[in-house]
Structure 1
Amino acid sequence: MSAETFKYLCLGFYVLATLWLSWVGMRKTRDIRGFAIGNRDMNPYLVGITMAASIASTATFVINPGFVYVHGFSAFIHFAVAGGTGIIAALLVLTRRFRSLGDAAGAITIPDWIYRRYHSRPLSLFFALINLLSLAFVVLILVGCSLLMAQLFSIDQNIALIAIALFVFSYVLMGGTYAHAYTNSLQGVMMLAVSLAIFVSGWHYFDGDIGGSLQRIGRNFASWKNPDSELYFDFFSVFGSGFLITFALMLQPHILTKMLYLKGDGDVSRFIGTAAFATVCFMLMLAVGFYARLSGLEVERQDAVVASYIAAEYSGSGADAYFLAFVGITLLAAGMSTLDGILVALSAMVVRDIYQPLSGDRESESRRGLLLSRAVLLGIGVLAVIIAYDPPPLVGIFAQKGVYGLGAASLVPLLFGIVWREPAPAWLVGSAAVIGLCGHLAFTYIGGIANPAVSAAYAILASLAYFLAGAGILQIGERFARRGGKSTPDSTGDEFSP
């Protein structure tokens, strides 16, 4: 069998397996609740793999190694060490409490959870609207996957873009969350195998001396902070912002809602362990940026570093050609593993948290809601393809500007809604969310901060400071009121206690 035939067989197997798993998922999807979070009957190991695959996606496997290629060790620390620490910290802090609160309230989306926690429809609607910023990440994934497919099958990138969009949207339309989870388990196993294989196969470029090899490229390239870089030049831009924004990004709907898939608290430890292990393995793909640079590969377009490296590294005959085919299909799967989760979350939110409250349509809990969510999915797909057809020059930065704004707005309402026993006033968390979003945009477009992680981290700190100051003032006011023999409605004395 020729390598070319093997490549098409791999693609055919992946497509057929994905469609079959989607069909299995469709048989379990009867209403919008099943479409959004399933029926809480999934294995925790499967959910853990699904979570890790959703976190990694095209950003880790295709786009972010390009930042390592350009900026060096500082970018690796930013994404792998700071980002990985933020992911694991968020899993440990958020999972158990968020799952139990969401289970008790019956929430199926993040804005729905916000509404049930803070009893504020305007706050819930605000979050549903700003979560549309996730569209920027959909564009990133479509562009990254189309670059890979065009390289792998020698076709026009725009044709590859349309083919990928049609495939992903078709299987998500079928099965919703079950399609997403079942296909992600397949994609996650493929991603684990490829990330470990590529990491090990390229290790020889370090020649037994990692520091010395990187020093030969440049002293600043090998440094944990790179003075030549406008993105990663000091401790905060390298580590502080990376940790803060990654922790905040764990609050995205397509990630946080995975915790609602679990049956009970007994599944939490297995879920966290699986997700953390897989995430660490996936981060090894960032080393491709080093390997491409050490191999002497010249790549004009930063977003194309991974596609160019695997094409150059495994373009020979024999086993390499077969491995190249498997790697290419797996990298496509890595993008789809997050894309399908975002699409499910967005379409469910538009119906549950925008259409239903504004229209007063209570029937959207049933099959009508399922039909509406699928219609919304098609609209999102068309818009994303239009943007991805002529994408910005650095699609990674474009996506970060949008999604990091969502993370900055989400941290205070979700984090403190999870870790505090009683919810803070909706007006306080809502204004903190606005500070987070507007602060990120102001630091980016007015302040001229080049690294979206830094601008988002500054906005997060400002949002946190405002919220904690406001909560402290309210608590002091309640104490004075109690001492004066007065009481405020529903005051418990520990409203802001962790």
Structure 2
Amino acid sequence: MSDQAFQLIAIAVYLCAMLAIGYFAFKRTTNIDDYMLADRGLKPGVAALSAGASDMSGWLLMGLPGAIYLNGLISAWIAIGLTIGAWLNWKFVAPRLRSYTEVAQNAITIPSFFEKRLKDNSHALRISAAVIILAFFTFYVSSGMVAAGKFFEASFGWDYFTGMFMVAGITLVYTIFGGFLGATLTDVAQGLLMFAALIAVPIVAVIQMGNLGDFSTKLTEVNPDALNLFSSFGGDANWFMAAIAIFSTAAWGLGYFGQPHILVRFMALRSPGEAKTARRIGIGWMILTAVGAIATALIGIVYFAESPLDKSSSETVFLLLSQVFFHPFVAGLVLAAVLAAIMSTMSSQLIVCSSALVEDLYNIVGRTASPKKQVNLGRLGVLIVAVVAALMALNRNSSILDLVGFAWAGFGAAFGPIVLLSLYWRKLTATGALAGMLTGAATVFIWGNIDPLTQNMYEIVPGFLLNLLVTVLVSRATFKANEVIEDEFSIMEKQVAGV
């Protein structure tokens, strides 16, 4: 049997397992709360692994190793920023959001939480938030489909569209029928697979390559700056711009506070107190997988020293090393880990889009439906978003990294400050939140499409800061005491005290 056949068998086993998990979740989904939030019943480990897997996507297994391979540890600042941002999110947002979304009339989506928290009877805040979710996530889902098509094209020589539609179809099936629970459980399996692959590849590679001391020497011979986190600081003339570049890269961490597909995992925890356990598991997973990805890239610098990979193939360093050091079937499981990263993110985003369509746009106009009909409408919402994303993905030349970075900045700048202020500031108003949210989203759209600006500073930074400024100023100007808001805020604080 050929190596490629072994690899395809491994991927087929993985894909069948994902469908089986989706069927398991389907049998346990009966109403809209089940479909959108698993009836707030996630255990800490499940929530943590699900959040990590849906967050990292293919960037962790391909993007980060490729950047480290080309540039050395200077490119690790994005991982450092993300890890810090994730820890802060679990520490300061997760317990309060879990409590407050239930206290505020059991909100099951981020847009509905904004409305119920701020008592916005106009629905303008909720509708605007839902539209922003649909706009940015459609691009995000499309980027995952593009990545899937390119993955099969590069790994097996398949036609781009064949690979894209196969992965999109399987992800769609288990998401449509399994809902949030299906997406979450598959995320756990995918997170464990990603973890195993990122730990195993560098360990086996180092063992087979020999002495670790010799490896370090060879690494610095090939690239003297490979282990230098501050290699951009080449002299007094450019230190300021280098510092700005590092800050801009690390600022990816700001995005965590506004990512709906991650925040919804906090909302689905069984209790606010379990956020602490989930944080430890999630951050532990994140640190170890990031270290594995970085170590793999550094090993690749040495292993491919005589025949270096060019820029276009640098992102395959993780896949190439797995094929060198493992049996073809095991290498196929490593390839499946890349698919796992892509599919876990897509499924989580599709569920959030579905909730925006059904819970925040359909139900808001006063239409009532039976629990079964609401679930079916949720499934229809997943299908609609997937079809639109697939049409966008027909353009195979789309830049995956640019789409992901743009969507990440959009959510971080539009929602991040509003989430934080909702949880920590009693005087936030619906008018202030709406003005700030639209300012953040507009800033990302404008800044992100002006090359001289986006090349020097990631658009999330100005978007986040302007949102924060506008929200505070407008809220101060429009604040009126509301006894219900005060009571709910106090209940939330009592529930999370000591967490």
Q: TM-score, normalised by structure 2?
A: 0.86
Correspondence list, 1:35-74, <5 A: 35-74=35-74
Q: Distance in 2 between matches of 1:108 and 1:173?
A: 18
Partner of 2:87: 88
The one-letter code sitting in structure 1 at the alignment partner of 2:269 is L
**Matched positions, count:** 476
> 1:429 Cα shift?
1.6
Distance 1:463 1:489, change over 3 A: closer
Indicate yes or no: 2:181 matched with 1:181.
Answer: no
SS of the residue aligned with 1:234? helix
Q: Which residue, 211, 219, 228 being the options, matches 1:213?
A: 219
Partner of 1:143: 146
Q: Distance in 2 between matches of 1:452 and 1:174?
A: 44
> 1:454 Cα shift?
1.9
Q: Deviations over 1:239-265 (max 9, x none)?
A: x33444423334211110001221113
Distance 1:220 1:37, change over 3 A: same
> 1:7 Cα shift?
2.4
Correspondence list, 1:117-132, <5 A: 117-120=117-120, 121-132=123-134
Q: Distance in 2 between matches of 1:354 and 1:168?
A: 24
> 1:156 Cα shift?
1.7
Q: Distance in 1 between matches of 2:176 and 2:3?
A: 33
Q: Distance in 2 between matches of 1:237 and 1:494?
A: 42
Q: Distance in 1 between matches of 2:442 and 2:41?
A: 39
Q: Distance in 2 between matches of 1:335 and 1:138?
A: 9
Q: Distance in 2 between matches of 1:211 and 1:455?
A: 39
> 1:216 Cα shift?
4.2
- Once structures 1 and 2 are overlaid, which stretch shifts more, 170-179 or 144-153? 144-153
Partner of 1:419: 424
Indicate yes or no: 2:338 matched with 1:313.
Answer: no
Q: Distance in 2 between matches of 1:31 and 1:115?
A: 22
Partner of 1:154: 157
Distance 1:48 1:352, change over 3 A: same
Partner of 1:281: 288
CA contact (8 A) 1:32 1:348 kept: no
Q: Distance in 2 between matches of 1:64 and 1:319?
A: 21
Indicate yes or no: 2:271 matched with 1:269.
Answer: no
> 1:40 Cα shift?
2.5
Unaligned runs of 5+ in 2: 494-499
Q: Distance in 1 between matches of 2:333 and 2:389?
A: 27
SS of the residue aligned with 2:177? helix
Unaligned runs of 5+ in 1: 476-487
Q: Distance in 1 between matches of 2:220 and 2:361?
A: 51
- Once structures 1 and 2 are overlaid, which stretch shifts more, 9-18 or 441-450? 441-450
CA contact (8 A) 1:89 1:247 kept: no
The one-letter code sitting in structure 2 at the alignment partner of 1:85 is I
SS of the residue aligned with 1:326? helix
Distance 1:369 1:299, change over 3 A: farther
Distance 1:319 1:216, change over 3 A: closer
Indicate yes or no: 2:437 matched with 1:433.
Answer: yes
> 1:209 Cα shift?
6.9
Q: Distance in 2 between matches of 1:330 and 1:99?
A: 30
The one-letter code sitting in structure 2 at the alignment partner of 1:114 is F
- Once structures 1 and 2 are overlaid, which stretch shifts more, 398-407 or 447-456? 447-456
Distance 1:493 1:3, change over 3 A: closer
The one-letter code sitting in structure 1 at the alignment partner of 2:24 is V
SS of the residue aligned with 1:39? helix
Partner of 1:241: 248
Q: Which residue, 434, 459, 462 being the options, matches 2:463?
A: 459
SS of the residue aligned with 1:390? coil
The one-letter code sitting in structure 2 at the alignment partner of 1:340 is S
Partner of 1:12: 12
Q: Distance in 2 between matches of 1:494 and 1:356?
A: 27
Partner of 1:164: 167
Distance 1:447 1:319, change over 3 A: closer
Partner of 1:482: none
> 1:220 Cα shift?
9.1
Q: Distance in 1 between matches of 2:415 and 2:438?
A: 9
Distance 1:225 1:492, change over 3 A: farther
Correspondence list, 1:469-480, <5 A: 469-471=473-475
Q: TM-score, normalised by structure 1?
A: 0.86
The one-letter code sitting in structure 2 at the alignment partner of 1:459 is G
Distance 1:386 1:313, change over 3 A: same
Q: Deviations over 1:390-445 (max 9, x none)?
A: 1445320132123312210111211110123x351111121111221222223222
> 1:311 Cα shift?
4.7
- Once structures 1 and 2 are overlaid, which stretch shifts more, 331-340 or 208-217? 208-217
CA contact (8 A) 1:199 1:287 kept: yes
Q: Distance in 2 between matches of 1:221 and 1:137?
A: 32
Say what the alpha-carbon RMSD is for the aligned residues.
3.2
Distance 1:146 1:472, change over 3 A: same
SS of the residue aligned with 2:68? helix
SS of the residue aligned with 1:450? helix
> 1:348 Cα shift?
1.4
CA contact (8 A) 2:219 2:226 kept: no
> 1:453 Cα shift?
6.3
Partner of 1:106: 106
